[in-house]
Amino acid sequence: MTVKKPDVKKKRWRGTPSPDGLSRKKNETVRRCLVTRETLPMDRLIRFCVSPDRMVVPDLAHKLPGRGMWVTADRDLVETACGKGLFAKAAHAKVTCPEDMDGLIKSLFVKRLQSLLGLARKAGLAVAGFEKAAEALKKKQAVCLLEAVDGAADGREKLDRLRGGVPLIRVLTADQTAEALGAGICVHTVLKQGGAADLFVAEARRFAAYCKIEQV
């Protein structure tokens, strides 16, 4: 006589909730913040390493050699890490932070975002200009709407009505966006689904978190 085993429902791993309500993926790589001691996904932290001349260097792309030291993407926490000697403690050595660490990090973020935006353009994933952006939004082709931080409010309001649930990102100026796209002044840009566009969105959100810029 064959005994039928009862059906057992497997529990799905739903991720570990973090204090901000977001869930972490099961295989997501995490690191611990030097300041808060909180363990977070790498895309919510900034990596730092020590140069041969003992200078603390931001490593946004996670490519520089040496042991990494991680701080949550928050300008106040980075300032705390520098001011309280936490980098020196983590490195087990005397190190020096740049005088304008905040300015350095911001400039590196802008360069990285411009590089990713350029890759998105080459892949045909970036659409610039009000009319083209509006058309892409109407056709549901956009994964994000990039608005220049110095753009006029009236244009933003018109596209906002078409945006729906598409994320709005405002971290670059019109000139910075234009330089990345090799075009005239770009106030409104839409990114379509693709590797470079997805990476740009992730980095833009990390930059916004660092600068405490609220995104929608």
Going by pLDDT thresholds of 50, 70 and 90, the confidence category of residue 27 is low
Report d(CA 91, CA 99) in Å as an integer: 19
Answer whether 131's CB lies under 8 Å from 186's CB. Answer: no
pLDDT tens-digit readout, 35-61: 999 999 999 999 999 999 999 999 999
| For residue 24, pLDDT beyond 80 | no
DSSP helix/strand/coil, 30: strand
The Cβ of residue 165 has, within 10 Å, a number of other Cβ atoms equal to 5
Going by pLDDT thresholds of 50, 70 and 90, the confidence category of residue 126 is very high
What's the Cα-to-Cα distance from 54 to each of 37, 41, 69, 91, rounded to whole Å? Answer: 24, 27, 14, 10
Answer whether 107's CB lies under 8 Å from 57's CB. Answer: no
Quick one: which H or E segment has residue 204?
A: helix 195-211
Q: CB-based contacts of 215: which residues, under 8 Å, 6+ apart?
A: 167, 168, 169, 170, 204, 205, 208
Tell me which residue has tokens 């405490």: 212
Structure tokens at 208: 């916004």
Q: Which of 169, 199, 154, 209 is nearest to 62 (CA)?
A: 199
Fold observed for domain 112-211: 60s Ribosomal Protein L30; Chain: A; (3.30.1330)
112-211 and 16-99 share a CATH fold? no
pLDDT tens-digit readout, 108-119: 999 999 999 999
CA angle 68, 213, 37 (to 5 degrees): 35
Domain boundaries, the chain: 16-99, 112-211
As a whole number of angstroms, the longest Cα–Cα distance in the chain is 79
Going by pLDDT thresholds of 50, 70 and 90, the confidence category of residue 18 is very low
CATH hierarchy code of domain 16-99: 3.30.1230.10
pLDDT tens-digit readout, 72-104: 999 999 999 999 999 999 999 999 999 999 999
pLDDT tens-digit readout, 129-161: 999 999 999 999 999 999 999 887 777 788 888
Q: How do strand 142-147 and strand 168-169 relate by DSSP bridges?
A: parallel
